[in-house]
């Protein structure tokens, strides 16, 4: 009996269309995968060049069954998170500091902007010299790389807080921490989150390079080790793992945005 | 009460109780200019404690600037602005502003916006005022989901829930329909009467000014062009002859300058017909 209500008719009309819309983005990846598998089975794509998707899958299950995979994933994730926490935390603190206090900006900002121009990866030779191929070397590189996007966006976010809202807050008796909590921080948050999202991407890039160059564990190590034994399937597993972890980090950042910026229609619409 | 309620004359003694919360405002030969363009020039007004003053004038004549300078958001190039003492208290007078744009915090829901700067214990009070502006059921919504007029009413609620000594309202009812407008005017009137703060209301609606205020001040050319005591007993009825006469007089004064300019233009251009 509900079927005759106009609302439900519209819904039944829409449903197949939304299904097609959902499925459409996956058509090309699936075709690529099928083509890849076919080319490998037909011998067009030699396995020492690129393994068949099925071989990659098999190798994934073997590695995860033996626990080796999870060990490397855990090591890499810990490195990434530790570096992010240190670099991002410092970037946030310093950004808040220079953004809020004019004398702090005068004192520090020029220096930070100068150091910002050095790509963190250019420091690798020095870093190896300083820290060897220790954990601290990777931590340092990730933290350094992550620091600047968070710092710059925090600084900018604080500076671009709506002046009208600041005026309003002051005339309503807010100052000090309450003013910060009610107006400055929430006003800077969209910009800060842009920095966080950007630096989460950067975090993996830097870690990949650092682990590939020097490490005794982690996904990068696993991949480079596999290269010596020509285990192309393990190499592809490692590469895909990076992709998945990167995607997860991005989803996390998006989730944070959607939760913290839920007051903002721009983020509600971006579903 | 049959006497006109004004607190700037001898009635102040009789009205002392009601006026006790308000502070006086003394603006003496204040000049404010932006980049060489003078907005207020040797501007003087005295506002008694508890008085309700309406400020009218053409767009851009400096009404908002005047209010902003009273709260210290603009610094006059010369002159002084002094707030009186709060009766029975040594502290600085509490001033609240309702800005021309609503300035709600987009990241706070409606009720917390109204509660800004208040103790959590005053939640019932905030809910009550929110209900008075007709938005009780929107307490948990985000400001972005409200219409312009609704946001303005939230800002009004936020200003009214406080217990200030001086309340500045900058076109608080600018984007409301006629009916809601009259309701909100009544609300402002009631709150003012029960709390007895000093009020400065900027409006471009002369009828609104006459119906609410003890005094109507017209700003023109950076000065007070008209300072008219509203000697109509409250409650005031818009239809009454005295009301209409006063409204007419103020409107006439507002338009006079325009008429003068047009007349001059007529003589300069030598055109006697084709008035616009
Ligand atoms: N921060 C500023 N910088 C430069 N000029 C300003 C500034 N604030 C105001 N003015 C100028 O001062 C004049 C008076 O502005 P104000 O906002 O006080 O007008 P108003 O009487 O409130 O007008 P409206 O009725 O349109 O709100 C305008 O010409 C405006 O351009
Ligand atoms: Mg204005």
The predicted-structure confidence for A50-76, as pLDDT tens digits, reads as follows 899 999 999 999 999 999 999 999 999
In this prediction, residues B150-166 reach a mean pLDDT of: 92
Q: Which residues of A117-154 are buried (b: 16+ CB within 10 A; e: fewer)?
A: eeebeebbeebeeebeeebebbbbbbbbbbbbbbbbbb
Q: What is the pLDDT of residues B60-72, one digit of tens each?
A: 999 999 999 999 9
CA–CA min distance B16, chain A (Å): 27
Query: Which pLDDT score, from 0 to 100, does residue B266 have?
Result: 64
Largest CA distance in chain B: 69
The percent of residues above 90 in pLDDT, for chain A, comes to 56
Nearest CA, atom 26, ligand 1: B59
A189 reaches B (C-beta below 8 A)? yes
Residues of B numbered 129-158 whose beta carbons fall under 8 angstroms of chain A's beta carbons: which are they?
142-145, 158
The backbone torsions φ and ψ at residue B244, rounded to the nearest 5 degrees and listed phi first, read -60, -40
Indicate whether A2 pLDDT > 50: no
| Stretch among A258-267, B160-169, B187-196, B261-270 having the lowest mean pLDDT | B261-270
- Whether the predicted interface score ipTM is above 0.90: no
Could you read off the pLDDT of A112-136 as tens digits, one per residue? 888 888 888 888 888 888 888 778 8
pLDDT at residue A45 in the model:
86
Residues in chain B: 276
- End-to-end, the C-alpha distance of chain B in Å comes to 47
For chain B, what are the domain ranges? 1-94+164-276, 105-162
Distance from CA of B257 to the nearest CA of A (A): 33
Taking residues B217-238, report their average pLDDT. 89
Q: Closest by alpha carbon to B190, among A4, B77, B182?
A: B182
With beta carbons less than 8 A apart as the criterion, state whether A199 and A149 touch. yes
pLDDT value at residue A30: 92
| Predicted confidence band of residue B50 (pLDDT cuts 50, 70, 90) | very high
The answer to whether A49 touches A165, Cβ cutoff 8 Å, is: no
Strand partners, B45: B27
Rounded Cα distance, B244 and B90, in Å: 43
Closest protein CA for atom 16 of ligand 1: B62
d(CA B65, CA A23): 58
Fold of B1-94+164-276: Rossmann fold (3.40.50)
Residues with beta carbon inside 6 Å of ligand 1? B 34, 39, 57, 59-65, 100
Of A96, A114, A206, A188, nearest to A151 by C-alpha is A96
Q: Which residues touch B106 (CB under 8 Å, ≥6 apart)?
A: A263, A264, B142, B143, B144
SS3 A227: helix
Residue B35 CB-half CA count within 13 A: 0
Tell me which residues have their CB within 5 A of the ion that is ligand 2.
Answer: B 64, 100
Chain B residues 21-50 with CB within 8 Å of chain A: none
- Residue A5: pLDDT over 60: no
Residues 6 or more apart in contact with residue A161 via CB below 8 angstroms: A183, A184, A187, A188
Q: What is the pLDDT of residues B13-43, one digit of tens each?
A: 444 445 468 899 999 999 999 998 999 999 9
Run of H or E residues at B25? strand B25-34
Please say whether the beta carbons of B21 and B166 come within 8 A: no
User: What is the assigned CATH class of domain A53-268?
Assistant: mainly alpha
Predicted TM-score (pTM) of this structure: 0.81
Q: What integer pLDDT is reported at residue B267 of this predicted model?
A: 63
* Residue A12 confidence (pLDDT) above 80: no
What does each C-alpha distance from A145 to A134, A210, A213, B25, B214 come to in angstroms? 18, 12, 17, 56, 64
């Amino acid at each position: 009996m509900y079927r005759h209500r106009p609302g439900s008719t519209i819904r039944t009309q829409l449903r197949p269309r939304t299904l097609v819309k959902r499925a459409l983005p996956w058509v090309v990846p699936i075709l690529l995968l099928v083509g890849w598998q076919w080319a490998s089975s037909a011998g067009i794509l030699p396995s020492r060049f690129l393994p068949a998707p099925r071989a990659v899958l098999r190798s994934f299950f073997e590695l995860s069954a033996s626990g080796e995979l999870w060990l490397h994933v855990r090591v890499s994730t810990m490195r990434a998170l530790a570096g992010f926490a240190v670099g991002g935390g410092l970037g946030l603190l310093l950004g808040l500091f220079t953004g809020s206090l004019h004398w702090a900006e005068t004192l520090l900002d020029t220096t930070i902007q100068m150091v910002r121009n050095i790509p963190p990866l250019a420091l690798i030779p020095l870093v190896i010299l300083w820290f060897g191929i220790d954990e601290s070397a990777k931590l340092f590189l990730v933290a350094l790389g992550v620091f600047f996007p968070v710092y710059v966006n925090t600084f900018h976010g604080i500076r671009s807080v709506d002046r009208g809202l600041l005026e309003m807050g002051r005339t309503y008796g807010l100052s000090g921490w309450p003013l910060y909590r009610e107006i400055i921080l929430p006003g800077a948050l969209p910009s800060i989150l842009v920095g966080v999202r950007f630096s989460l991407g950067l975090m993996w890039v830097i870690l990949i390079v650092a682990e590939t160059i020097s490490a005794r564990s982690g996904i990068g190590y696993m991949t480079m080790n596999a290269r010596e034994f020509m285990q192309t399937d393990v190499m592809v597993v490692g590469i895909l793992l990076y992709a998945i972890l990167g995607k997860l980090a991005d989803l996390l950042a998006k989730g944070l945005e959607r939760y913290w910026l839920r007051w903002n229609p721009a983020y509600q619409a971006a579903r | 009460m049959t006497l006109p309620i004004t607190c700037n004359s001898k009635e102040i003694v009789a009205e002392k109780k009601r006026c006790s919360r308000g502070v006086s405002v003394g603006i003496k030969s204040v000049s404010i200019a932006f980049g060489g363009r003078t907005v207020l020039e040797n501007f003087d007004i005295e506002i008694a404690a508890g008085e309700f003053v309406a400020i009218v004038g053409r767009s851009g004549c400096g009404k908002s600037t005047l209010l902003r300078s009273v709260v210290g958001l603009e610094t006059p190039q010369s002159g002084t602005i002094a707030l009186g003492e709060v009766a029975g208290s040594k502290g600085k007078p509490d001033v609240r502003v309702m800005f021309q744009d609503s300035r709600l915090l987009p990241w706070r829901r409606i009720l917390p916006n109204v509660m800004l700067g208040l103790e959590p214990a005053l939640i019932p009070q905030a809910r009550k005022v929110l209900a008075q502006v007709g938005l009780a059921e929107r307490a948990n919504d985000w400001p972005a989901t409200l219409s312009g007029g609704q946001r303005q009413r939230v800002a009004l609620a936020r200003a009214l829930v406080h217990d200030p000594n001086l309340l500045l309202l900058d076109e608080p009812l600018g984007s409301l329909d006629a009916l809601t407008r009259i309701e909100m005017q009544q609300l402002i009137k009631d709150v003012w009467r029960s709390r007895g703060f000093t009020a400065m209301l900027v409006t471009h609606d002369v009828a609104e000014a006459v119906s609410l205020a003890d005094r109507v001040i017209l700003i023109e050319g950076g000065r007070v062009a008209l300072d008219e005591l509203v000697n109509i007993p409250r409650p005031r009825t818009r239809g009454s002859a005295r009301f209409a006469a006063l409204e007419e007089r103020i409107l006439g004064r507002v338009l006079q300058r325009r008429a003068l300019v047009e007349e001059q233009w007529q003589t300069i251009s030598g055109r006697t017909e084709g008035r616009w």
